[in-house]
Structure 1
Amino acid sequence: MSRLLYESSLSYKGYLIIPFVFGKADNYEIYSYKLLAEVGHKSQFHKTENPAGIYGSSISNIIDIAKEHIEQQSDFVSYGDSFKSRYIYRHNLIIVCQEEGKYFYDHYPPDLLNNIAAPKLFKSEYECLSWIKQGLDGRYTRQRIR
């Protein structure tokens, strides 16, 4: 699997649709997708890969396929957008959340849909993002020095 194309992700009805290049056929890219659900493991589709079982010929095509599947099969209803504060830094997905004046985050690396966030609370979204950026920059620098 190629890296997850977080920069092309779309929040839709409580899910984050994340496309990626599944493979190539005759020099054409074939797209698939993964889902994150705002309700986490309470949804049968949280962290699933292509539950519709249909692949696409472009990012917009695979997004449409995912949206149609969500319309037909979603196991919850969402009225908000819990993925609105999402950022991509060094191909990593960062989702900042806020509860009762405290900020925390989910952090997904470029090639795996596993949350690797530290259990840490912040006073502001800016403080949270600065801390993550500093950590990712430090990791990138250490890898280049090796």
Structure 2
Amino acid sequence: MNRLLYENSVSYQGHLIIPFVFGMADGQAIYSYTLLSELGYKGQFHKFQNPAGIYSNSIESIVEVAKEHLENNSDVKSKIDYFKSRYTYQDNLIIVYKLADKYFYDHYKPDSLNNVAAPKIFATESECIHWIKQGLDRSKASSSFEI
């Protein structure tokens, strides 16, 4: 799988639709998608890749395919947008959420849907984002100095 295109992700009915380049045909990108469920592992389509089995030559149309599939098959019909506060930084996906006046986050690397977030609690969303950015910046700086 190529890099997940988090910057083109769409939150829809309790899921995050994340497109990616599946392959190339005649110099054209062929797109697929993968899903995250706000229910996590309890969700039927959590970390599921392209349950509709349809591919497209555009990001917009693959997102529409995913939406249609979720409308007809999803086990989640949420009115709360769990994925509303999501950010892409250095091609990483950061999802910040609030629970009982505390902030938490999920962190996904560019090529994997394995949550690598540290178990840390924050007082504000901006404090959370700042801490994550510092960690990613340090990681990038230390890897650029390797010999």
Counterpart residue number, 2:34: 34
Q: In the TM superposition, what is the alpha-carbon distance from 1:76 to its structure 2 partner? A: 2.1
Partner of 2:11 in structure 1? 11
Matched residue type, 1:59: I
**Structure 2 CA distance, aligned partners of 1:29 and 1:12?**
24
If the length of structure 1 is used for normalisation, what is the TM-score? Answer: 0.98
11-20 or 35-44, which deviates more: 35-44
Matching residue's letter, 1:57: N
- SS in structure 2 of the partner of residue 135 of structure 1: helix
Aligned equivalent of 1:97? 97
CA–CA distance in structure 1, aligned partners of residues 105 and 118 of structure 2 = 8
Root-mean-square deviation (CA, aligned residues, Å) is 0.6
Letter aligned with residue 4 of structure 2: L
SS state at 2:88 partner:
strand
Measured against aligned partners, the alpha-carbon deviations of 1:107-146 in whole angstroms (never above 9, x if no partner) come to 0000001100000001110110110000000000011111
Unmatched 5+ stretches in structure 2: none
> Partners in 2 of 1:125 and 1:64 — Cα distance?
31
- SS of the equivalent of 2:98 reads strand
Partner of 1:121: 121
Q: Distance in 2 between matches of 1:109 and 1:76?
A: 25
Shift of 1:86: 0.3
Counterparts of 2:49 and 2:97 in 1: how far apart (Å)?
24
Structure 1 stretches of at least 4 aligned residues deviating more than 6 Å after TM superposition: none
Distance 1:87 1:126 in 2: 12
- Mapped to 2, the partners of 1:23 and 1:57 lie a distance apart of 10
> Percent identity between the aligned chains?
61
How many equivalent pairs are there? Answer: 146
How far off is 1:79 after superposition? Answer: 1.0
**Within the alignment, does 1:60 sit opposite 2:66 as a pair?**
no
SS for the counterpart of 1:105 is strand
| Structure 1 residue 41 displacement after superposition | 1.2
Distance 2:43 2:126 in 1: 30
SS, match of residue 31 in structure 2: strand
**3-state SS in 1 of match to 2:71:** helix
TM-score by length of 2: 0.98
